[in-house]
Structure 1
Amino acid sequence: MACRRRDRRRERILDIIYGHFKEALDALPLEHILTLVPHLLDAGVCFGFADPVTNIIANTIHFIPDEDGEPDPSCAKKRKRKRTTKTNALSGARVREEVLSKIIAVSDVPSPPKEPTIAERSLKGLIIFLTTYFRHLPTPDALRYLCLAGADLLVAVRLIELDRCCLRRKDKFCTNSHATKVALNCAGLSAGLPMVESFLSGMSGLVSHLKSITQTVAAETRRHLSVQDIYVLSGLLKKPLEFDKSDNPMGIAALRIPPASIEKVSVELTVAERRSPR
């Protein structure tokens, strides 16, 4: 019974993660910057210090080389080519459909151990982060929180804090803490990211420009981010600023918590959780 419940939760979370990837694919100009595809499939995990869609986009574009934030000449030429709107739409749709097929596990059958999809690797990273940061948190409970949080890492962290009464200042989650850095590093390694150090530095850039980046992504999700948008955002990720309270990830994450999720969080904790605040 417990195993079946855990498997159902995994499947449910993966379905949610697939939705996040579809939204990110719709926003990225894949037809204009084809190099985004391998970056996304290799490193575009949905966990990080922003919402899942922004994390996918940030983790994908952080690895793009740039020259003072200017678009690559070849990309600029592609953008200037005269194409009909219909042709562009068909081309973009084909690219997105092909990439999505590489993200979603066929027939809900887990990928071979050596070839997990980026969605499956994202789920693994989410679980490892939570069970590393909250040392006595069992995997089944991590899955429960992730399910309630919509596979949003910081929302899951906040739900755990509320459920376990981690209300003291010293117990509250902080992106700069040693425990957070260790958990994020473990999550990156478990997800098989190609360059974990680069991923960690990208998170620093994301936190310091969080409002600017999330607002840009949110404003452009109804249409594709432009080539210029991608290079500007990529440049921001590579230039971390001093931490600004207005860019507090947990404060922004709190706004994403569905009221129903708070109501559904059980007040009963496992014996393991009761033994330690973390």
Structure 2
Amino acid sequence: MALVPDCPPDLRVYDSSYNRGYTSPREQSEHRSRLLRKIHDSYRKALERLNARARPGMAARFLHGGGGALCLGLLDPVSNIVANTLVSRGEPGDLVHVPEDKLGDLERRSLDGLVAFLTRFFPYLTDCHAVRFLLLAGADLLAAVRAVASDLGMTRLGSSPGPAVEEALVMALRCAALAARHPDPDRLVRDWLAISGRLDDTVRLLADVRRRSPESSLDRLPNLLDGLPPPAHQDLWRRLTASRPPPPRRSVPHQTTTALNGTLQDALHGFYLEAIARLPAGELRSRLHRSLLVAGHCYGPLDPVSNIIINTIWHDAAFPPAVKLEVDVIGTMILHRTENCSLYGLVSFLCTRHRHLTDFDQAIYCLLQADGDLLLADRRLDDDDDAAAGLDRAFLAAATAAYHPNPDAQAKLLRRLCPCDERISSILQGSTGQLSSQDVQCLARLLCPEAACSEQPLRRFPHPWYLSSQTMMCKKINAALSAYAAMLSGEPMYELHTICGVNKYVSGPVGTDAKCYRTHVNFLATPKGTQFPAGTTPLLFFAEVCNDDDDDRAGMPQPFVCRVWVPLPCAGRVRCLYCDHMGIRIVHPVGEDFHGRKLEFEKMVCGEDPCDDDFDPAVDQPYYTNTKIIDHSRVTTERLNGRVEEDRLYNDPLEDSDGYGSDMTLMSDEYDSDLDSMADERHV
């Protein structure tokens, strides 16, 4: 991201600029060496504690007890090594010292495991930044977790509905054990779950070892853990964070822009899902989808969801469509582009209005501290800034950065609404449910009183075949939704509101044709029944469906559908390897199996290919790595003004004779080209 040149001097408009944000190879090597020295120092201290009064064979257990004495766990590094040594199940031997080569191997494996934990737990976090956070935390894994969460503005981590953060911790711990080549990863996970439920007892036992207690104390930890079930996951995060010191504030400043953006983009995506759910289905399908995707940005005088709604309705009234186009699918890539534009609009507003904000990351961090709410962030900054710029110029900077089609008009509207008309606020905030058609009409008159009262006749959409893929997806989702409703005794039937997220690149690419077998979908559906009044807010669902046209063929997997909830802003999210790779923000379920949730990450950290059982790491290059996921997702996450496939639905056919322009580079073409070259990449 960089300031746009040639702007008026009182405007500070930011635009994206591709920057991987990685430190230099020399710095990465230096940081890794320093972290290995810290890990080495932890092993030295652990050996001193273990060997001082240990019975013969304890050093051998340290090395050969299944090879599991890693600097990996949820306590401090030395305690992790001691605990992993005590619970290992190796047979005693005669070794009384630790050879340097074997100790060095343990240290390198420990580092690999620590990095794998952080990059599995935090989307958008690069390997080199994970090493820097671990170095800052002195190889203390949980301290590093808290430092990353603080630095990325994840103020609500652990607050989402359901045990999402606990599930993520467990899966990250298993990935860490696999990356570190632990001989029994499941055992390591079980031991640390048990330890987390008995932290006080474990810390006391490890303190006895520190004080060089009698030899009998060395058997007490495995005896404490054996035969007892692990504690419930739902308290895991609270117990662990309460046991660790707070992280240093802004520990690695201005080095994690991609990850900072990702945290805010996740929050903004949640706002858009809520706004789409509040718009009435008829108006959304017939015309509001266009204004939502072209001008429905989340900056304005109200909360983010209300801002999206008023910007959408105003633009539809002030600049009505010329073509009649009804859709059931909100284009995924164009929606993400709109969300990205909103992010840059928010930052440009704050940096124009508050001149002491001189850095893009500073503005992002202020927004994260306000849960993505511009109004709240602006008020907080007002307390420290007596020379704030005018709202009219700040809104103009926002509209310009967001590539609004009519930035001057939008800036004037938003300035006029400060403070917001009480009639508008009462309609938007009078009910948390879905707006009615009458509400939309009333808002349109209040926002744009000069608009013509009578609707102009619309031309027919000239390219209906562009909607064939949407028709097929709607057919799949309606069938899956009917099957889901039939399985739930006493549950109401549902009516599809809209499909609001599609990733067709799941379970692949496979073979020379780079085939992907499944699609992940988010959609909103309204429950039908007498117990649900009119205006009931649609519910959000996740579906995994087959990519073949005929899902009913024998042997084809049945679609999977379940309810999901939008994560709270800055609270983290459930990860999927395939959706992360495409940069598509699908809301995935907690505690449910889907392709891309668990096994695929585990194969990736082991250097294997999740989709190719014949993958040979000696010959082939893995298609999925943490670095490749982050780099590839930038096609979606950093796009502001480039064309995407769904643009062809909104081009004026009188201005664009071929339907979508001869110079257009479709995002789907970029993906398909990338997948087509996959086979060559594997054999480089």
TM-score (norm 1): 0.73
Q: Please name the residue that 2:190 is paired with.
A: 201
Which of the pair is proportionally richer in strand? Answer: 2
Q: Please name the residue that 2:77 is paired with.
A: 52
Counting matched residue pairs gives 235
Cα 1:240–1:28 shift into 2, 3 Å: farther
* 1:5 and 2:27 are equivalent in the alignment: yes
* Cα distance in 1 for residues equivalent to 2:140 and 2:83: 15
Kindly name which structure, 1 or 2, has the bigger radius of gyration based on alpha carbons.
Answer: 2
* Cα distance in 1 for residues equivalent to 2:35 and 2:187: 27
Q: Please name the residue that 1:125 is paired with.
A: 113
Q: Contact 2:118–2:172 at 8 Å: present in 1 too?
A: yes
Kindly state the Cα deviation for residue 274 of structure 1 after the two structures are TM-superposed. Answer: 1.6
Q: Contact 1:45–1:118 at 8 Å: present in 2 too?
A: yes
- Counterpart of 1:33 (choices 51, 54, 57) is 57
Kindly state the Cα deviation for residue 175 of structure 1 after the two structures are TM-superposed. Answer: 9.7
* Cα distance in 2 for residues equivalent to 1:180 and 1:133: 7
Kindly state the Cα deviation for residue 232 of structure 1 after the two structures are TM-superposed. Answer: 0.7
Q: Contact 2:151–2:251 at 8 Å: present in 1 too?
A: no
Cα offsets for 1:105-158 (capped at 9, x unmatched) = 4xxxxxxxxxxx111000000000000110210111101100000000000000
Cα offsets for 1:43-71 (capped at 9, x unmatched) = 11111111111111121221238xxxxxx
Paired residue type of 1:266: P
- Counterpart of 2:67 (choices 34, 42, 67) is 42
Q: Please name the residue that 1:165 is paired with.
A: 153
Q: Please name the residue that 1:253 is paired with.
A: 244
Paired residue type of 1:128: A
Q: Please name the residue that 2:679 is paired with.
A: none
Residue segments in structure 1 that go unaligned for 5+ positions in a row: 66-71, 76-90, 106-116
How many percent of aligned residue pairs carry the same amino acid? 28
- Counterpart of 1:233 (choices 216, 221, 245) is 221
Residue segments in structure 2 that go unaligned for 5+ positions in a row: 1-22, 264-569, 573-684
Kindly state the Cα deviation for residue 217 of structure 1 after the two structures are TM-superposed. Answer: 1.6
Paired residue type of 1:36: R
Q: Contact 2:50–2:209 at 8 Å: present in 1 too?
A: no
Deviating above 4 A after TM superposition, structure 1's stretches of 4 or more consecutive aligned residues are 243-247
* Cα distance in 1 for residues equivalent to 2:214 and 2:101: 24
Structure with bigger RCO (C-alpha 8 Å, 6+ apart):
1
* Cα distance in 2 for residues equivalent to 1:229 and 1:266: 44
* Cα distance in 2 for residues equivalent to 1:234 and 1:100: 26
Cα 1:122–1:134 shift into 2, 3 Å: same
* 1:192 and 2:181 are equivalent in the alignment: yes
Which of the pair is proportionally richer in helix? Answer: 1
Q: Which stretch has the larger CA shift, 8-17 or 29-38?
A: 29-38
CA RMSD of aligned residues (A): 3.2
Q: Which stretch has the larger CA shift, 134-143 or 206-215?
A: 206-215
- Counterpart of 1:153 (choices 141, 146, 149) is 141
Q: Contact 2:152–2:259 at 8 Å: present in 1 too?
A: no
Q: Please name the residue that 1:114 is paired with.
A: none
Q: Please name the residue that 1:68 is paired with.
A: none
Q: Contact 2:63–2:98 at 8 Å: present in 1 too?
A: no
* Cα distance in 1 for residues equivalent to 2:109 and 2:252: 25
* Cα distance in 2 for residues equivalent to 1:43 and 1:211: 23
* Cα distance in 1 for residues equivalent to 2:140 and 2:113: 12
- Counterpart of 2:252 (choices 265, 268, 271) is 265
* 1:220 and 2:191 are equivalent in the alignment: no
